[in-house]
Structure 1
Amino acid sequence: MWPRNLPQTNQPGSARQLAAMLRPIIEANNGRCFMLCTSHAMMRDLAEQFRATMTLPVLLQGETSKGQLLQQFVSAGNALLVATSSFWEGVDVRGDTLSLVIIDKLPFTSPDDPLLKARMEDCRLRGGDPFDEVQLPDAVITLKQGVGRLIRDADDRGVLVICDNRLVMRPYGATFLASLPPAPRTRDIARAVRFLAIPSSR
C-alpha cells in the first residue's frame, strides 16, 4: 500500500507527521515490523518519534550489531526495527515474526555517490539516458530486495507500505509497481489495518 496525504519528507516535522500516520498500522500488527529508511537522518528522527509515542520495543540500527538487533527483534516478538540500507538485503526473518515492512521513500541512490556518478557519465558517453538506464533500474532492484524481507515463503503473509507519492505522481512509478509481486493494493491505511487484524492461518 502507499498511503494518501503523505507529508513532504524534506519539510520540518515530516518525521513526526509520518510516525503519527504509521503508528496505527504498526500497533495493529503488534510491532513485528521493519521500518526501512533511505537516510540515517530520517531513521534516527523516526525512531525518536516512535519511542516517544509507542510502548512497543523500538530497535535502532547502530545501537548494537546487526546480528544482535535481529536476535532482539525475533526474541521480543512485538518489536519495531528502524534501519537503513544494510537491512535491505541478506536478512532472513520468516513467518509471523515479520509481517509488516514500511519503506520511507523509493530507494534511489544519492546522485552524489561516486560509483553512481561514474556509471551515469559512462551511460551519457554511450548516448544513453542515465535515469532510465542506471538510476531507475538500480532503485527497482533495491525496492524488490526490501520487499523480499516480507515474503520469504509461499505461506507468508503481510503488508508492505511505501511512503512515497512518486509511485502515483511520476510516470516511472508504474515501473516500480510492475516490479512488485501480485497482491491486493490500497491507499487506505484502515483497510490494511483490517487485513492485519485477520488471524493468520499458520
Structure 2
Amino acid sequence: RRLGLWPDHSEQLPSPFDYANQALVYLPPNLPEPNSPDYTRAALRAMYPALLASKGRAFLLFTSHRALREAVEILGDKLTFPMFVQGTLPKRKLVEAFRESGNGVLLGTQSFWEGVDVRGESLSLVMIDKLPFASPDDPVLRGRNERVQHRGGSPFTEITLPEALITFKQGVGRLIRDVNDYGVLILCDPRLTSKSYGRTFLNALPPMPQTRNIQDVQAFFARLESKKIPRNTD
C-alpha cells in the first residue's frame, strides 16, 4: 500500500530454474550442536568429500569471522584447490579471482551472503555452516527485542527468525544463478532437523531434492562429469 500497489495487481512469476534436476541439498548427519567447540572442524570434515567430488568450485559461507578464521586454518593444511578468503582482497576482485580460477574455494561471511554472483562451472557447491541468527549481544537487536517483549510479543518469532530466514535465502541463492547452473547446497546446522523451527528454514528452500547420504552427492557430481545431466544450450 505504501508503494501505491494493490494486491490484485501483483503477480508471482514461476522460477526459470529446474531445481529438481539442477540442484541437490545435502544435510550431513551426526554433527555436534553448533555451540560445540568442535563444530566447525566437524562441519568441514562432513563437507570435505563433497568438495573433492565437486573438484573445488565451492563457496563456503560462515556466520562469524571466528568460524571463518578457524576454517582457513583447518583447510590451509589440506586443501589442494586455490583458496580465496574474505579480507585478503577487495570483494569484487576476490570474487573475480575465484571465478577465473575455475576450481577455487571461496570463504566468506556477513556481506558475502549476498551480492556474490558466480555463474557457470566455477561454482558448483555452496556450504552454509550455521543458521544465520543475529548475535543476541547486538545492542540494537537487544533494544528491539526488549520493545517486543514489553508489549507481550515474541522476539524470536517476530524478529530473530524472520531476519535469519531472509539472510538464509540470500545465502542459498548463491548456488543457482542461471538456467545452466548445477550444484549441491550443504546445510550443516543440525538444528534444521532437531528443532521445530528448522522446518521453517527447510520449507523456505526452492524445491530441491534433499539427502543425508554423501554418496548421493558424489553420484550427483559423477553424473555431471559424465554429462548425463544435459546442459541447456538454448
Bin for the TM-score computed over the shorter chain: over 0.9
| Structure-2-length-normalised TM-score | 0.82
Deviations 1:134-179 (A, max 9, x none): 1001111110000111111234221111111100100001100111
8 Å Cα contact 1:102/1:163 also seen in 2: yes
Change (3 A) 1:116 1:18: same
Q: TM-score normalised to the size of structure 1?
A: 0.94
Unaligned runs of 5+ in 1: none
Residue 124 (str. 1) matches residue 169 (str. 2): no
* d(CA) in 2 for partners of 1:58, 1:109: 27
Aligned to 1:22: 47
- Contact in 1 for aligned 2:32/2:190 (Cα 8 Å): no
Corresponding residue for residue 230 of structure 2? 201
Please report the RMSD computed on the Cα atoms of aligned residues, expressed in angstroms. 1.5
Paired residues, number: 202
Cα distance in 1 for residues equivalent to 2:32 and 2:152? 37
**Which position in structure 2 is the counterpart of 1:96?**
121
Q: Which amino acid in structure 1 is aligned with residue 95 of structure 2?
A: L
- Structure-to-structure mapping, 1:15-164, within 5 angstroms: 15-164=40-189
Higher Rg of the two aligned structures? 2
CA deviation string 1:96-126 (max 9, x = no partner): 2211110000000001112211221222223
Question: Moved runs in structure 1, 4+ residues, more than 4 A?
Answer: none
> For 2:211, what is the secondary structure of its paired residue?
coil
Amino acid in structure 1 at the alignment position of 2:145: M
How far 1:85 sits from its partner (Å)? 1.1
Q: Is the 8 A contact 1:15 1:49 kept in 2?
A: no
Structure 2 gap ranges (5+): 1-25
The C-alpha deviation readout for 1:4-37, integer Å capped at 9, x for no partner, is: 0113443344333332221111111011111000
1:190 corresponding residue in structure 2: 215
1:132 CA drift (Å): 0.7
Letter in 2 for 1:51: G
Cross-structure match for 1:10: 35
